[in-house]
Amino acid sequence: MKCLVIGSSGQVATALARQAGSHEVIRTGRPQFDLADPTGIADLIGQIAPDIIVNAAAYTAVDKAEEEIAAARALNETGPAALARSAETLGVPFIHISTDYVFNGLGGAPYVEKAEVSPLNVYGQTKADGEQAVLAVNPAALIVRTSWVYAAEGHNFVRTMLRLAAERDALNVVDDQIGRPTEANALASALLTLGEHLKGGAPGGLLHVANSGEASWKDLAQAAISGAGLSTRVSGILTSDYPTPARRPGDTRLDLARAETEYGIILPDWQESLERCLEMMGVSGRRA
């Protein structure tokens, strides 16, 4: 299977290339291709002739999006819609990655795919609008919502916590936001499997894919720091104790039943995937 990935150096794009196996993964991104200005995407798709397209590019700076609204909308809504339209026109199955931040976190239970979206911030709103825009022009597209993605490389929460833990004796981390931490390699493997299903005629629509289990940000920080053998003390604080420009939802656990029953997708428990990520980083079990 030839997979064209939009996003050349992001966490998920990098993981897709790493997990390719017998598949051919071709990544494209700036400066060769800019999702904010997708002119020429149809020609690019025609030249590469992929079996599947995965859009792994997005504007993900949650707090900066509160001010950079136009940039967030270009990368999270209008760009993906243009991609989806070209994919539909050329008959190429299309996967678009979205986020748990389309929900307000007040549901009190894991969110199923058909749950009403109600984002609390600009990032979440542009991603929710992007979902609608993609499906409006390409109803067969698959929208994969995931959550709290991290990897052994790049800028992400786990790497930030390990860096801070190496510098400090104690950290305060938000403990009243709950979700499903998802490791990029585990997600990428699932995306390639989903690509095979779509290529074989499986339906699209909305789908939740994330590591199993649940955690708070404090839980994830503690597990990463302990797994790296660091002794930094981690204390939980409330969201209200750590104000940010963008509001964060409190409980965005995704219901994973559809992925399992319809596609056979079951990701490992988040702690298992975190351990593998720490091993890739070369910090698993080290001592302070």
CATH number at residue 209: 3.40.50.720
Domain total of the chain: 1
| Residue-level pLDDT, tens digit, the chain, 288 residues | 999 999 888 999 999 999 999 999 999 888 778 788 878 888 889 889 999 999 999 999 999 999 999 999 999 999 999 999 999 999 999 999 999 999 999 999 999 999 999 999 999 999 999 999 999 999 999 999 999 999 999 899 999 999 999 999 999 999 999 999 999 999 999 999 999 999 999 999 999 999 999 999 999 999 999 999 999 999 999 999 999 999 999 999 999 999 999 999 999 999 999 999 999 998 876 543
* Residue 166 falls inside a structural domain: no
Instruction: Quote the pLDDT of residue 287.
Output: 45
Q: Say whether 123 is catalytic.
A: yes
* Residue 163 falls inside a structural domain: no
pLDDT, tens digit, 9 for 90 and up, residues 106-124: 999 999 999 999 999 999 9
Q: In angstroms, what CA-CA distances link 112 with 96, 118, 195, 249?
A: 18, 14, 21, 16
* Residue 245 falls inside a structural domain: no
| Whole-prediction pTM | 0.94
Contact 269, 180 (CB under 8 A): no
* Residue 130 falls inside a structural domain: yes
Domain assignment of residue 49, given as a range: 2-155+180-213+252-268
Tell me the β-bridge partners of 206.
143
Closest C-alpha among 119, 181, 150, 116 to residue 11: 150
**What is the SS3 string spanning 94-111?**
EEEEEEHHHCCCCCCCCE
Contact 135, 94 (CB under 8 A): no
Instruction: Quote the pLDDT of residue 170.
Output: 96
- Residue carrying structure tokens 């609390």: 120
Contact 99, 248 (CB under 8 A): no
- Residue carrying structure tokens 């590469």: 48
Instruction: Quote the pLDDT of residue 162.
Output: 96
Percent of the chain with pLDDT over 90: 88
* Residue 138 falls inside a structural domain: yes
* Residue 76 falls inside a structural domain: yes
Instruction: Quote the pLDDT of residue 286.
Output: 55
Instruction: Quote the pLDDT of residue 285.
Output: 63
The chain-wide mean pLDDT, for the chain, equals 94
Percent of the chain with pLDDT over 70: 99
Catalytic residue (choose from 123, 150, 242, 263) = 123
* Residue 208 falls inside a structural domain: yes
* Residue 74 falls inside a structural domain: yes
